[in-house]
A and B are shown apart, each in its own frame.
Chain A
């Protein structure tokens, strides 16, 4: 872990340059995420600014880029539709409080329990949902819409082949907006759907009644947001740890996300979390320190205030084209190979996670069910216990605990003999159920007139056995 000074000023030049690149790369997605939720672009742009700036100071992973994200936007859709912006802001504040508390209790240590099959399900469902949100801007709006969207897509994929200093989506947007303006083609533009901010965000309290009714409305959303935000942020932290060969404090990151969301809600921004794509761009562009995240946030706000009048002219099909690319990058195409090569249970967990998310439109429910399911599969897997008879010696293979004792007891149903030796060399007793099961088998065999000998218990099993008997 570097000192604070190194985290800020160890890499000034590269951090500032990378931050500028990331600031540019944040704009298209922030706009699109606002349209996904159904709020003014301002809400997502303010969020991206405040979250990036705050996490630069309080985050646990230097170089991580946090802002408004698609995952959080998708959770907020129905809250916005049913109750409006003020509730979205209140939910954002509450999300911050929940994340701060969870971070305080060391929630990041739980990350270990989220298997990669669940994370794959999460990103795949996220990719599919982002893609679906773009269809209304593409389908049924005339031929030119398709043309602009497809040319944008081609540019986004082709440009990096020759030029990588400026993010390709931005180049595509500038080129296609210019073409649209000069050719005079009539297309729906960002200005038709919302207004751009022309000032810095200001502090205000969300206008909601402070009562139990309100809490009942926002709490489910805030819990979902907290889970989704932490999952994506901690996953991104791990990716960055790997890319930079450094470690980071995940619980501090969780608390940092909480502080950022808490404050953002009071400045008219929607909840956000870490962005994998932009964080990777930051590292690739040379960003390593906290200064890169700060620069990204500040530069984003600067651009919006200065260029707001130009940004409203961006045609929606062009933005949608960029978002189709984002959806395709979010989707993990290696998943198909994973389905073929991974153990059946992991494939099932991934598919069910995707299915639940797409059915409920709730990323958090999918993740929670996925984790529970994979935990059950794991217990089922390790609770396999086999008993083999080798000339009167019954060898136990596999751990003995509450989930495996039934099978163990059944294995001795038909056993008879003068002397029955039960060998625990390849086993381990974990709990009271294990000792209880041995006792039961012993009593049953003894009632049939056998003499039972227990042998080869390892030290900790012996201790447990001795203590409980």
Chain B
């Protein structure tokens, strides 16, 4: 069984990751995949707000580090999947193409204004993936 959790470094995503790791603990045959999408819309600002391309890569690593550490402590095998593009599209494509059996996602990562303009990622993903989805509040 393949379980995937989509994360973006937000509080909500961290709760979703914790939930996914808990599920994987209870399902001994489960493989956990942690999906992180580098948002093309944020590429410019991410570059401007980081010292160098290397520090940007490091900041992204840091967002995933606590999740990887928690998975290791819980003896769950977790694999990181780095994607680039539009977050909802990339998550949907990956989950459907790779035949993921279950997806876990945080209810919201962006702030309210961004959500109003861009739409909720979790909502779009929920509508278009073929597997059961757990949305974590």
CA separation between A160 and B41, bound complex, in Å? 12
A157-B117, A161-B117, A161-B118 known; A242+B48 contact, CB < 8 A? no
Task: Tell me the minimal C-beta distance from B115 to chain A in angstroms.
Answer: 10
What separation, in Å, do the CA atoms of A401 and B44 have in the docked complex? 37
Q: Does B27 belong to the interface (CB within 8 Å)?
A: no
Closest residue on chain A to residue B49 by CB atoms:
A334
What CA separation (Å) do A238 and B118 show in the bound complex?
Answer: 25
Chain B: minimal CB distance from A239 (Å): 5
The answer to whether the Cβ of A231 comes within 8 Å of any Cβ in the partner chain is no
Is there contact, CB below 8 Å, between A338 and B40?
Answer: no
Q: Does B43 contact A (CB under 8 A)?
A: yes
Contact across chains for B50 and A284 when beta carbons are under 8 A apart: no
A446 within 8 A of B: no
- A321-336 CB mask vs B (1 if < 8 Å, else 0) is 0000000000010100
- 29 example contacts (A-B, Cβ-Cβ < 8 A) are as follows A115-B51, A116-B47, A116-B48, A116-B51, A116-B52, A120-B48, A157-B117, A160-B117, A161-B117, A161-B118, A161-B119, A235-B47, A238-B47, A239-B43, A242-B43, A242-B46, A242-B47, A243-B38, A243-B40, A243-B43, A245-B84, A280-B43, A280-B44, A284-B85, A284-B86, A332-B49, A334-B48, A334-B49, A338-B49
Looking at the assembled complex, report how far the CB atom of A334 sits from the nearest CB atom of chain B, in whole angstroms: 5
Q: What B residues does A112 contact at CB under 8 A?
A: 52
CB proximity of B118 to chain A, nearest CB, Å: 7
Per the bound structure, the CA–CA distance linking A27 and B35 in Å amounts to 37
Could you tell me if A116 and B49 are in contact, using CB atoms closer than 8 angstroms? yes
* Complex-state Cα separation, A244 to B84, whole angstroms: 8
Whether a CB of chain B sits under 8 angstroms from the CB of A123 is: yes
Residue of B40, B48, B49, B86 with highest tally of chain A CB at under 10 A:
B48
Mask of B47-61 contacts with A, CB within 8 angstroms, 1/0? 111111100100000
Instruction: From the candidates A123, A243, A283, name the one contacting B48 in the complex (CB within 8 A).
Output: A123
Q: Is the interface of A mostly helix, strand, loop or mixed?
A: helix
A225 at interface by CB-CB < 8 Å = no
A-side contacts of B49, CB under 8 Å:
116, 120, 332, 334, 338
Name the distance in Å between A214's Cβ and chain B's nearest Cβ.
37
Give residues in B with beta carbon < 8 Å to A: 38, 40-41, 43-53, 56, 84-86, 117-119
Chain A minimum-CB-distance residue to B85: A284
Q: Do residues A239 and B84 form an inter-chain contact, with CB atoms below 8 A?
A: no
| Shortest Cβ gap from B98 to chain A (Å) | 19
The chain B residue with its CB closest to the CB of A284 is B40
- CA A252 to CA B80, docked complex, whole Å: 35
Please measure, in the bound complex, the distance between the C-alpha atom of A116 and the C-alpha atom of B53, giving whole angstroms: 11
Interface of B is mostly: helix
Residues of A within 8 A of B84 (CB): 243-245
Bound CA span A243–B85, Å:
8
| A residues near B51, Cβ cutoff 8 Å | 115-116
Contact assessment for B50 and A116 in the assembled complex, using a CB-CB cutoff below 8 Å: yes
Q: Which residues of A contact B53 (CB under 8 A)?
A: 238, 241-242
Known: A115-B51, A120-B49, A243-B40. 5 other contacts (CB 8 A): A112-B52, A116-B49, A116-B51, A283-B40, A284-B86
Q: Which residues of B contact A280 (CB under 8 A)?
A: 40-41, 43-44
Residue among B44, B50, B51 with the most chain A CB within 10 A? B44
Residue of A nearest to B47 (CB): A239
Which residue among A112, A119, A242, A276 has the maximum number of chain B CB atoms within 10 Å of its CB? Answer: A242
Residues of B within 8 A of A244 (CB): 84
In the bound complex, do residue A276 and residue B118 qualify as a contact, i.e. CB atoms below 8 Å apart?
no
- Give min CB distance, A83 to chain B, whole Å: 34
Q: How far is the CB of A393 from chain B (nearest CB, A)?
A: 36
B-facing residues in A337-373 (Cβ within 8 Å): 338
In the complex, are the beta carbons of A332 and B45 less than 8 A apart?
A: yes
The answer on a CB contact under 8 Å between B118 and A239 is no
A161, B51: Cα distance in complex, Å: 32
Q: Are B44 and A239 in contact (CB under 8 A)?
A: yes
How far does the Cβ of A154 sit from chain B's closest Cβ, in whole Å?
11
Residues of A contacting B119 in the complex (Cβ-Cβ under 8 angstroms): 161
CB nearest neighbor in B for A235: B47
**In whole angstroms, what is the CA distance A276 to B41 when docked?**
11
User: Would B43 and A332 count as touching, CB distance under 8 A?
Assistant: no
Shortest CB-to-CB span from A21 to chain B, Å, is: 14
